[in-house]
Chain A
Amino acid sequence: MSAIGTVTKYVDDARIIYKALNGVVVLYKPPVLHFNNVRETVISNLCRELNDMRTRPPMKHVAIEGETNKPMKVVVRSSFADHPLVVGPRYQPNDFRMGATKIMHKDVSGVLVCGINAGNQLIHKIKTSQSLRFYKIKGLLGEATDNYFHTGKVVEKSTYAHVRRGHLDKLCSSMQSTHQRKMFELCGVDIQSQAAYELAVKGLLRPANSNIPMIYTVKCVDFSPPEFMLEVVCTNETDLYLKAIIHDLGLKLRSNGTCTQILCIQDGLFNIKHALLSKHWTLQNIITNIQMCQNVINQNKNILHQKNPALIEPNNDIDTIE
């Protein structure tokens, strides 16, 4: 964050901070937790910290007391009906809405782009713009499980000594070219038309339908049998789809494959180095992160509304905040 143009003011009033809690925040989702658990934790942290600050004092209660046939007294005292012990803490989990561009299954970890309160509108726009996600997927050769993930029950075992890096690379590139062929079919125009040609000239396209998974790149980045790691760039994917890729690769390699880790390293413009670790899900860090994300969105207005079906190079001039 540049020091120029920002005014720092120290606030201890929870009301002002609650009003500032609108926007997009990037979290690092650890494995094993489901998105719902993440949301619960973040919201309860926010509530706790806001309630610990100076909150709204109880309202005044005006009472007219005394017997009606004598002069009566008008008393003003703080209302018990608005006391935090009676109506509960000032900020409660119901006061926060939190959605994400992708509801992450518990096996997936990594970048999770969330919206808090009014930020949910931005999240919806980012979601419909079909941004790309970058994954690092780890696989294990020689084993197959019933749910395609290493947590499942092992149903098949095989040897993997014959597998070479070349085989894996060959399969990855053939898979990539098949998917790219599919991309032109999914863009919603007749493949023999002039419109299709003009789109194809522009390069990679995003699919017209938001339900069909689309893979742009599959690359093996690490091969040390029995483990290997793929880097996948895709959109509209599901966790099971990514697991199935590893499973299919294993079968094509005349062996078996199980997915051991799915790590999302980038979602649209938001990189994993911007993401807040679970120990940093505090009010201060979340507010700073919201500001940073707002800067990123301001620099790349196109992620809120995509006019062009082709993929565009993002404006990668992003300041990180530790």
Chain B
Amino acid sequence: MYIEFLEKNVYKIDDAVEEIDEKLPGPFEQCNEDLSHIGPYITGTYNFAKFANDSHTIQQLVKLGVELYKIESDREVLEISENLGFFITRFPKIFKEDIDDLHTRIRYLRAHDFNITMIQTIVNKHPPWLAFKTQEIDHRLGFFQNNFKLNGSQVRSLAVKCPKLITYDMKRIRHSSFSIKEEMGFTKLEMHRILNKAPRVLIRARTEVVKTFDYLHNYMNLSHDIISREPTILLCRKRRLEVRHRFLVELKKDQYDPTKPLYVSPLCLVSGTDNEFCEKVAKASIHTYNDFLRTF
């Protein structure tokens, strides 16, 4: 296959030379032409590194701090960044349209009473937001408003607090909201508290949230009300929760009722490093805790 290709080429060159009928230079004649554009063939490669020293585009992208090794596996990206100049000359409107769309998308947010700092937070926190069409964003905000019975300002604060949630996979959000409502049995008010304080609960894998909730509710006997007041504990891994709770049980310090003395807040239980936990909550030595961890 390769030989055939080479021969074809030779044939063509011979043909071309005959047609031009130009005298070929001899081997010892001085060459005064600029030959700097002639180089060896570019053979196959599996990453950008091969072009990096020659390609102005890649060098500029590196100077901007783009982590090219992460995006180079995408063939489309490779074509775009190699042919950026080509793209701009052929489709100068692509930027224009995009900017217009971006303006529309920002205007949409302004029209829905998001102030400028809010929009800044949203775009900085989650740049892919701007890739979504206005209708899509509208549909999603509407879904959150209707599904969780939120009012306008609650929807806005949710979007600012966790813009990723709004643009997240709708199927998974439907599943996890179903699970919070029906499987775990939180009421509407408790659901609002969860959305307000820890919207990431809806993003975290449903099965994991259910495991954590199961442990909190059925083993540690915490009521829905207490859990919804500190919903960030639903984001804790079950194992971390289990280990710390069992340590407190061993020390007889598992008192989660706020009306009684020696109350341990569930938030204190899960937050902080093991050192902080031992010092502040368990009041035991870290070595004791480490030895306890080794008995699981």
| A-to-B contact residues, CB < 8 Å | 28, 30-32, 61, 63, 65-69, 79-83, 85-89, 109-110, 261, 263, 272-273, 275, 277, 279, 322
Contacts and interface: CB of A to CB of B under 8 A. Distances in A.
A81 B34 contact: no
B191 to A, nearest CB: 29
B16 interface: no
A68 B49 contact: no
Contact of B69 (A79, A88, A263, A322): A88
For B50, B53, B58, the residue with the greatest tally of chain A CB atoms inside 10 Å of its CB is B53
For A65, A83, A263, the residue with the greatest tally of chain B CB atoms inside 10 Å of its CB is A83
Nearest to B69: A88
Shortest beta-carbon contacts, A-B, top 6: A88-B69, A80-B52, A67-B34, A81-B52, A81-B49, A68-B35
Interface in B232-276: 239, 274
Interface in B4-59: 31-36, 47-53, 58-59
B52 A86 contact: yes
B34 to A, nearest CB: 4
Given A30-B239, A277-B294, A87 B49 contact: yes
A69 B31 CA distance: 7
Contacts of B36: 65-68
B131 interface: no
Contact of B58 (A32, A65, A86, A261): A86
A79 to B, nearest CB: 6
Contacts of A273: 294
Interface stretch (B60-68, B90-98, B146-154): B60-68
Interface of A is mostly: mixed
Contacts of A67: 34, 36
Contacts of A279: 274
Interface of B: 31-36, 47-53, 58-59, 62, 65-70, 239, 274, 287, 290, 293-296
For A65, A66, A88, the residue with the greatest tally of chain B CB atoms inside 10 Å of its CB is A88
For B48, B52, B68, B295, the residue with the greatest tally of chain A CB atoms inside 10 Å of its CB is B52
A86 B296 contact: no
B53 A63 contact: yes
A63 B52 CA distance: 13
Given A80-B58, A80-B59, A81-B53, A86 B34 contact: no
B47 A87 contact: yes
B294 A86 contact: no
Given A86-B68, A322-B287, A275 B294 contact: yes
A69 B62 contact: no
Nearest to A72: B36
Contacts, number: 70
A263 B295 contact: yes
Contacts of B48: 86
Nearest to B68: A86
A32 B208 CA distance: 13
Contacts of A85: 62, 65-69
Contacts of B295: 263
B32 A69 contact: yes
Given A68-B33, A80-B52, 19 more contacts: A28-B293, A28-B294, A30-B239, A61-B53, A68-B36, A69-B31, A69-B32, A81-B51, A81-B52, A85-B66, A85-B67, A85-B68, A85-B69, A86-B62, A86-B69, A87-B49, A109-B296, A261-B296, A279-B274
A63 B59 CA distance: 15
Given A61-B53, A63-B53, A68 B294 contact: no
11 contacts: A32-B239, A65-B36, A69-B32, A69-B34, A80-B62, A81-B51, A86-B58, A87-B47, A263-B296, A275-B294, A279-B274
Contacts of B34: 67-69
Contacts of A261: 296
A220 B33 CA distance: 92
Contacts of B68: 85-86
Nearest to A84: B69
B59 A81 contact: no
Contacts of A80: 52-53, 58-59, 62
A69 B38 CA distance: 13
B239 A86 contact: no
A136 B36 CA distance: 74
Contacts of A109: 296
Contacts of B47: 86-87
Contact of B33 (A69, A83, A87): A69
A73 B181 CA distance: 72
A279 to B, nearest CB: 6
A182 B45 CA distance: 60
Contacts of B52: 79-81, 83, 86
A63 to B, nearest CB: 7
A10 to B, nearest CB: 24
